[in-house]
Chains A and B, each alone.
Chain A
């Protein structure tokens, strides 16, 4: 069977994306990081091992790892954490970086994603880090450029490096070996993800990654922000609408910002949302005094989480940011095919 016929047959067999076969990823350059779906447990373990190895190196050693290599950051959406950490990670490893954003480039003149990608490639970019408001944009860019693409968030779809840094943060905070994982590493761990699940690429990435390492993922939120179809993300996922009940079972709670920019018309009763789903100090003390509190940022203090909790001892929010730097060094090294 030709590749073409195989693809056609796969399309018609209703191939389950959860079991993406290597053939399905063959359209993308090795080292691409588009979705956690494309990562095997062994791939995740390898990225964690790489992160740990890089962490043992000093700044002078880092600076030689990607010396002379060129990485482009292509950002169609605003970002603080992700952009800065990718940029600092690449620079710390000695790479040359260039930042292209939709507001100061020919994208404003109507240049397509494909042509922008081809232009960056022609200018010597060896990998592209892309943030884009459209789901699937990273796959498109990877297909048309043939370059390794690191998905730094595509629409509501995926943010794989965030899931990896969240995983590493959990392992470290639980005092575990953060240099490897297997299918049982998170056995017995319940991770509650709360809030605007519908619009969250972080929720999708974590909900599709953590159960494959043994965790139980409980999604929590009102039906407008958490439709039943979320259960289709995979096995090991359940929905619990009552935040207090979910929290009582949680080892880790991830809070999500309500993405007003993606609400597209529907009115959410914020007062009611806060009443039911806000992670407050009172709620935390009464129900989950030992739970690990996480948030991918940006946080809106006083909405999904109170300032007190965000700054409190149970919060891992700043650690998540610094782990972002560590994980992004590793995925950059992986993308450029360097042995470190």
Chain B
């Protein structure tokens, strides 16, 4: 029997509405008790001192869940491995991450899914995966959703590219509906973005770069919502569409309307999209290049509005590590994406909580209970007795600046080196194991 006692913290558990001083008892990987301070005094005597964490002044929350990460294994281990990526996750307060399928080869089979989820890969936090929606993510033929869900798939996506063909997307939505998992769409009409490397607009014009219009995102979202309506009407099933990394006011507007209409649509926002605009590219900084691209200030504000009013369901990082030599090239040729696991909480607390007044429990919900709900996790993302003991302990008031040199990720491609953060992770516990502890 292994036990950990987390004492004197402020427990914020959005799922149960708890926000106050509580002690938490962890036993055999599960939450065993959450009691008012002093309520667990009886068991304290039987727990070794090194397993008693006094976290006075700290927030104790459900471990964070990131439903959108690129861990690059198999095939791209020069960028990241499941080990290094999940170590970065633990340092960022995450206890569950969902790996995207655009590895080499693409994760589109039960065999590859099992290989990724095998304990031999050495993940330090809970690793889940969304396999490809179509074979090779080529957008032609959907994968074996049934067998993949049996093997642990929590959704399907061709992330990095969209499922572009109407009929293929329709088939994916119908197949996923029967299995109760979402189809996660990278909403980009690639017919409008060929050769583009940033957001369309004044900054792109000035830099002489071809720009991706906001319509490229909105058009796919509109098409997918139309498919949802048709499928509900004709097939009598209720598919779940999850829109990845929403970046434009236009797409958010469509999602807000669809939610009001009652369609099962969820979406995520990435910290870089609610923190930065396309001005951050400056003098061709490839660490500000990702897809979808950083947008204009009006889009950034719309995203923050969407997070505040609940249109955006969760925060996801789109953690996308790349080696320095893949970024230290001409802007148009540089790889898309930035790392994000270790900066997500600090940016969310700074931008949403401090600058825009979002209650702390809402920020935590956006990073734990809500993403758990999107992928149907019941015993994670909350501190209910019996749930997995996935816990993050952080100093909500700490102000610090991120130093990429200290990152656990194998790659250092971030625009947030030196950026101000609010809230610092002190410890991360996954299934009752301490997987990260900040230096005192």
Count of interface residues, chain B, beta-carbon cutoff 8 Å: 39
Residues of A within 8 A of B401 (CB): 5, 8
Q: Are A157 and B205 in contact (CB under 8 A)?
A: no
Q: Are A229 and B330 in contact (CB under 8 A)?
A: no
Interface size classification for chain A: 35 or more
Query: How far, in whole Å, are A7 and B208 apart by their CA atoms in the complex?
Result: 22
Say yes or no: is A155 at the interface (Cβ < 8 Å to chain B). yes
Q: Are B202 and A157 in contact (CB under 8 A)?
A: no
Say yes or no: is A14 at the interface (Cβ < 8 Å to chain B). yes
Residues of B within 8 A of A140 (CB): 284, 328-331
Residues of A within 8 A of B358 (CB): none
Q: Are A232 and B208 in contact (CB under 8 A)?
A: no
Q: Are B419 and A12 in contact (CB under 8 A)?
A: yes
Q: Which of A136, A198, A231 contacts B207 (CB 8 A)?
A: A136
Residues of A within 8 A of B204 (CB): 229
Q: Are B329 and A204 in contact (CB under 8 A)?
A: no
Given contacts A113-B329, A114-B329, A229-B200, contact A17 B206 (CB under 8 A): yes
Query: How far, in whole Å, are A140 and B289 apart by their CA atoms in the complex?
Result: 15
Q: Are A7 and B418 in contact (CB under 8 A)?
A: yes
Taking CB as reference atom, which chain A residue is nearest B275?
Answer: A12
Say yes or no: is B276 at the interface (Cβ < 8 Å to chain A). yes
Residues of B within 8 A of A232 (CB): 201-203, 205-206
Q: Are A11 and B288 in contact (CB under 8 A)?
A: yes
User: Nearest chain A CB to B368's CB is how many angstroms away?
Assistant: 26
Q: Are B333 and A229 in contact (CB under 8 A)?
A: no
Residues of A within 8 A of B333 (CB): 134
Q: Are A136 and B418 in contact (CB under 8 A)?
A: no
A112-140 to B contact mask, C-beta < 8 Å, 1/0: 11100000000000000000101111011
Query: How far, in whole Å, are A140 and B282 apart by their CA atoms in the complex?
Result: 12
Q: Which of B201, B203, B276 contacts A12 (CB 8 A)?
A: B276
Say yes or no: is B416 at the interface (Cβ < 8 Å to chain A). yes
Say yes or no: is A334 at the interface (Cβ < 8 Å to chain B). no
Q: Are B208 and A158 in contact (CB under 8 A)?
A: yes
Q: Are B208 and A157 in contact (CB under 8 A)?
A: yes
Say yes or no: is A156 at the interface (Cβ < 8 Å to chain B). yes
Query: How far, in whole Å, are A53 and B330 apart by their CA atoms in the complex?
Result: 37
Say yes or no: is B280 at the interface (Cβ < 8 Å to chain A). yes
Q: Are A204 and B283 in contact (CB under 8 A)?
A: no
Q: Which residues of A from 1 to 46 have beta carbons under 8 Å from B?
A: 2, 4-12, 14-17, 24, 27
Q: Which residues of B from 281 to 338 have beta carbons under 8 Å from A?
A: 282-285, 288, 297, 325, 328-333
Residues of B within 8 A of A157 (CB): 207-209
Given contacts A134-B331, A137-B330, A140-B328, contact A10 B282 (CB under 8 A): yes
Residues of B within 8 A of A231 (CB): 202
Residues of A within 8 A of B417 (CB): 4, 8
Residues of B within 8 A of A155 (CB): 208-209, 332
Query: How far, in whole Å, are A137 and B207 apart by their CA atoms in the complex?
Result: 11
Taking each of A11, A14, A201, which has the highest tally of chain B beta carbons within 10 Å of its own beta carbon?
A11
Residues of A within 8 A of B359 (CB): none
Taking CB as reference atom, which chain A residue is nearest B196?
Answer: A264
Query: How far, in whole Å, are A2 and B402 apart by their CA atoms in the complex?
Result: 12
Residues of B within 8 A of A227 (CB): 205
Say yes or no: is A178 at the interface (Cβ < 8 Å to chain B). no
Say yes or no: is A300 at the interface (Cβ < 8 Å to chain B). no
Taking CB as reference atom, which chain A residue is nearest B325?
Answer: A112
B396-418 to A contact mask, C-beta < 8 Å, 1/0: 00000100000000000001111
Say yes or no: is A166 at the interface (Cβ < 8 Å to chain B). no
Query: How far, in whole Å, are A154 and B211 apart by their CA atoms in the complex?
Result: 17
Taking CB as reference atom, which chain A residue is nearest B296?
Answer: A14
A130-163 to B contact mask, C-beta < 8 Å, 1/0: 0010111101100010000000001111100000
User: Nearest chain A CB to B196's CB is how many angstroms away?
Assistant: 10
Given contacts A113-B330, A134-B330, A134-B333, contact A229 B205 (CB under 8 A): yes
Say yes or no: is B151 at the interface (Cβ < 8 Å to chain A). no
Say yes or no: is B279 at the interface (Cβ < 8 Å to chain A). yes
Residues of A within 8 A of B203 (CB): 17, 232
B252-291 to A contact mask, C-beta < 8 Å, 1/0: 0000000000000000000000011101101111001000
Residues of A within 8 A of B195 (CB): 264
Q: Are B329 and A135 in contact (CB under 8 A)?
A: no
Q: Are B280 and A136 in contact (CB under 8 A)?
A: no
Say yes or no: is B56 at the interface (Cβ < 8 Å to chain A). no
Say yes or no: is A230 at the interface (Cβ < 8 Å to chain B). yes
Taking each of B210, B284, B328, which has the highest tally of chain A beta carbons within 10 Å of its own beta carbon?
B284
Say yes or no: is B420 at the interface (Cβ < 8 Å to chain A). yes
Residues of B within 8 A of A136 (CB): 207-209, 283-284, 330-332
Subset of 25 A-B contacts with CB under 8 Å: A8-B418, A8-B420, A9-B420, A11-B276, A11-B419, A14-B280, A27-B283, A113-B329, A114-B328, A134-B332, A135-B209, A136-B331, A136-B332, A137-B330, A139-B283, A140-B284, A158-B208, A204-B206, A227-B205, A229-B205, A229-B211, A232-B201, A232-B203, A233-B205, A264-B195
Identify the A interface with B (CB < 8 A): 2, 4-12, 14-17, 24, 27, 112-114, 132, 134-137, 139-140, 144, 154-158, 198, 201, 204, 227, 229-233, 264-265
Task: Please give me the 5 A-B residue pairs with the lowest Cβ-Cβ distance, nearest first.
Answer: A232-B202, A136-B284, A156-B208, A157-B208, A4-B418
